[in-house]
A and B are shown apart, each in its own frame.
Chain A
Amino acid sequence: MTAPVVAGGPIAASSLGIRAVRRARDWGPPIGLLVGMLTAWELVVRVFSIKQFILPSPIAIANAWVTYLPELYAAARYTFLEILAGLLIGATAGILVGTLTARYRFMQESLMPFAVAASSVPILAFAPIFNNWFGLDQQLSKAMVAAVLCFFPVMINTVRGLTTVDPRAIELFRSYATPEIAVFRKLRVPNALPYIFTSLRLAVTLATIGAVVGEYFAAPRSSLGQYIATYSAFLNFERSWAAIVFACIIGIGLYLVVVVLERLVMPWYGRQAAAG
C-alpha cells in the first residue's frame, strides 16, 4: 500500500530468456545445497567406513530405490491413497465445521476452545485405537488418522479466516445494505482463503505423517509404513530409506499441488504482499 506510484503493471513484459535466468537464480541455491549435502553424506560414510545398518550412503539408497522400484511403487500407491483420502475427508470436514462455527456464535464459544485444545493433543497416539475401530488392514483406518490430524488446523484456520475481517469492510458492506449471504461470499470467503490455504499446506504434511505412522502399527506388507518398519527390523536400512524417499516425494508433491491451487484460486495473493 505504500508504493508511491503505479508499482509495475501486471507482470512486466519480460522475455522468456530473462525469466529462465531468474528461475535458475531462484532454484540454483537450494539445488546446490541439496547436491552438496548428499555429496558430504556420501563422503562421510566412505571416509569413516560407517556401517550400512547405521547410515547407508546415498548411492546405496539410490541403488535400493531403483532395484526395488516396483514393490516400492506399489507400497507408495497404497499409502498415497490413504493420504489423499485422509486429506480430503479431514480438510472437507474442517472447512464445513469451520464455516458453521464461524456462522454460529454458540458454536464458536463451545467448539473453539475444544478445537484449540484438541489440536495440541498428540493425535497420533490414537493410531492403534483407530486401527482397532476401522480395521487393522484397512486403508480407512490410516486415512482416518490422517483426517483427524488435518481436521483441527483446517477448521481453526477456517474459523479465523471467516471471522477476522476488517471491521471497516463490514461497515462498508453494511452501508450497501448487503444481505448476510453476500457478505459471506464477497468478503468473508475471499478473506478466509489465505488462512485456509496456509492450513492446507500444513494438512498435507500432517496427512503424510498420519498415514505412514499409522501403518507402523498395523498394515499390509505392501505399504510405505510397513515397508519402512519391516526392513528396519531386518537391518536392511537402505530399503527403509528408499521407502522414506518415496514418502518425501508424496509429501512434497502434494504440497506443490496445494501451492499451485493457491495460485489459481487467489492470484492476487503474494503479488499484493510483494507490492505492499
Chain B
Amino acid sequence: MTERPDIATTPPSSAAPQRAAVVEVAGVSKVFAPRGQGAGRVEALVDIDLTVEAGEFVSLIGPSGCGKSTLLRIIGDLISPTTGAVTVNGKPAPRARLDRDYGMVFQAPVLFDWRTVQGNVELPLEVSRVSRAERAKRAADYLRLVELSDFAGHYPWQLSGGMQQRVAIARALAVDPAILLMDEPFGALDEMTRERMNLELLKVWERTETTIIFVTHSIAEAVFLSTRVVVMSPRPGRISAVVDIDLPRARTTETRELEAYFHLVTTVREALRGEERAGPGGDDEPPDPEARRVAAEGLSA
C-alpha cells in the first residue's frame, strides 16, 4: 500500500508486467459555471491525472461533492471536461464512445418496462445493429454470467432490486466494452444484497477480464473489490491519494476477515479523514498543501 500520485501521459514506468493503458486522464478540470458570471461557479474537478491499465479494477471514493461521479462521466464522455483530455484505448473519449467502447451501470438499473429482461440486455446490441441471432446468443451468454438465465422472459418489474442491477450489468457487458464504468451501482441495495453483488461482480470481472472503474462511497466495498483505490476530496474535487490494494486477487467472503484487509480499510479511511482535516470546507479557503502532504505521508508510512 503505497501512496503515489498518478502521472498520466508518461509511458508505463518500471512496473512489473507491462499492461496497456486503457484509460488515460490528463490534466482534466471541470468547472460548472451557471449562465452569468461570478456566484455559483463550482470547480468540480481540478487537474486530474489518472491512468487505468487493462484488467484493473479501480474504485473512486470520496465524500459527496468530490466530483467522483463527474470524473466517471467525463471518462465516459457523457460530459466534456473544461480542460484536459481523456484517452481511451488510445482514442479521444468522444471517439471511444462512438466506437461503443463503454459499458455503463448507474445507481438505478434504468431498465425499460416495455422490454423483457432479455430485451433489455439486447438493447445496446440493437443500437449497434448486431444481428438478431447474435443478439439472442450474447444476451443468453451474459444472462448466464449474472445467473439470470431463468428470468430472460420476465419483465424488469418482476425482479428484485439486486436482480435488476444484475440485468443492468449484463446489459453493460453485452457490447463487450473495453471498459465498464459503474456509478455507485449497489448504492441503493441493502447491505446483505450488496455484499453478495460484490462477490458476483468480482466473478464477472474475473471471467470477462474487463477493466472496471467503480464509483462508491463505501470504503469496505472499494477495498474489497479493487486493485487500486483512488481517494478524492472535495472543493475543489481532486485526487488526494491512491491506495494499491495488494490483497490476493481471488477475493472471497474470508477476504473481509484478513488482517491486510482491515489494514487497507484503515489506510483508505485515514486518507479520507486526512483530507477532511486538510480542507475544512470553506469555498474561499485554498486547501493547505502542507497539511495534505502530511496526511498523505502519514498513510504511506
Chain A residues within 8 Å of B, Cβ to Cβ? 1-10, 166, 168-169, 171-179, 182, 186-187, 190, 266, 268-269, 271-272, 275-276
- Contacting A at CB under 8 A, from B161-193, are 161, 164, 175, 181
Bound Cα distance from A8 to B159, whole angstroms: 10
Question: What would be 17 A-B contacts, judged by CB atoms less than 8 Å apart?
Answer: A2-B161, A3-B159, A10-B153, A10-B158, A168-B106, A169-B112, A175-B78, A175-B97, A176-B127, A176-B175, A186-B126, A187-B112, A266-B114, A268-B155, A271-B157, A275-B157, A276-B157
* B128 at interface, CB cutoff 8 A: yes
Task: Assess the B114–A3 pair: CB atoms within 8 A.
Answer: no
Q: Given the known inter-chain contacts A6-B154, A168-B106, A175-B76, please indicate yes or no for A190 contacting B160, CB distance below 8 A.
A: no
Task: Assess the A6–B158 pair: CB atoms within 8 A.
Answer: yes
Task: Assess the A1–B161 pair: CB atoms within 8 A.
Answer: yes
Bound Cα distance from A3 to B106, whole angstroms: 20
* B98-121 interface bits toward A, Cβ cutoff 8 Å, 1 = contact, 0 = none: 111011101010101110000000
Q: Which 10 A-B pairs have the closest CB atoms?
A: A175-B104, A272-B157, A275-B157, A190-B114, A176-B124, A176-B127, A272-B113, A177-B98, A276-B157, A178-B127
Chain B residues within 8 Å of A, Cβ to Cβ? 76, 78, 97-100, 102-104, 106, 108, 110, 112-114, 123-124, 126-128, 151, 153-155, 157-161, 164, 175, 181
CB-based A-B contact count at 8 angstroms: 81
With contacts A175-B104, A176-B123 known, what are 7 further pairs, Cβ within 8 A? A6-B151, A9-B154, A10-B158, A172-B106, A176-B128, A268-B113, A272-B155
> Distance in Å from the Cβ of A102 to the closest Cβ of chain B?
19
> Distance in Å from the Cβ of B113 to the closest Cβ of chain A?
5
Task: Assess the A3–B158 pair: CB atoms within 8 A.
Answer: yes
Task: Assess the B98–A186 pair: CB atoms within 8 A.
Answer: no
> Distance in Å from the Cβ of A47 to the closest Cβ of chain B?
53
Task: Assess the A5–B160 pair: CB atoms within 8 A.
Answer: yes
Q: B157: which of A1, A175, A177 is its contact (CB, 8 Å)?
A: A1
> Distance in Å from the Cβ of B124 to the closest Cβ of chain A?
5
Contacts of B112 in A (CB 8 A): 169, 187, 190
Bound Cα distance from A6 to B150, whole angstroms: 11
Bound Cα distance from A182 to B103, whole angstroms: 18
> Distance in Å from the Cβ of A65 to the closest Cβ of chain B?
43
Q: B127: which of A7, A173, A269, A272 is its contact (CB, 8 Å)?
A: A173
Task: Assess the B114–A4 pair: CB atoms within 8 A.
Answer: no
> Distance in Å from the Cβ of A237 to the closest Cβ of chain B?
49
> Distance in Å from the Cβ of B40 to the closest Cβ of chain A?
21
Q: Given the known inter-chain contacts A169-B112, A175-B76, A176-B100, please indicate yes or no for A182 contacting B157, CB distance below 8 A.
A: no
Contacts of A178 in B (CB 8 A): 127
Q: Given the known inter-chain contacts A3-B160, A6-B159, A272-B155, please indicate yes or no for A172 contacting B110, CB distance below 8 A.
A: yes
Q: A171: which of B78, B103, B128 is its contact (CB, 8 Å)?
A: B78
> Distance in Å from the Cβ of A76 to the closest Cβ of chain B?
37
Contacts of B175 in A (CB 8 A): 176
Chain A residue at smallest Cβ distance from B107:
A168
Contacts of A3 in B (CB 8 A): 157-160
Bound Cα distance from A7 to B160, whole angstroms: 8
Task: Assess the B127–A182 pair: CB atoms within 8 A.
Answer: yes
Task: Assess the B160–A6 pair: CB atoms within 8 A.
Answer: yes
Contacts of A9 in B (CB 8 A): 154, 158
Bound Cα distance from A6 to B153, whole angstroms: 12
Task: Assess the A168–B108 pair: CB atoms within 8 A.
Answer: yes
> Distance in Å from the Cβ of A169 to the closest Cβ of chain B?
5
Bound Cα distance from A268 to B153, whole angstroms: 13
Task: Assess the A171–B106 pair: CB atoms within 8 A.
Answer: yes
Chain B residue at smallest Cβ distance from A174:
B78
Chain B residue at smallest Cβ distance from A1:
B157
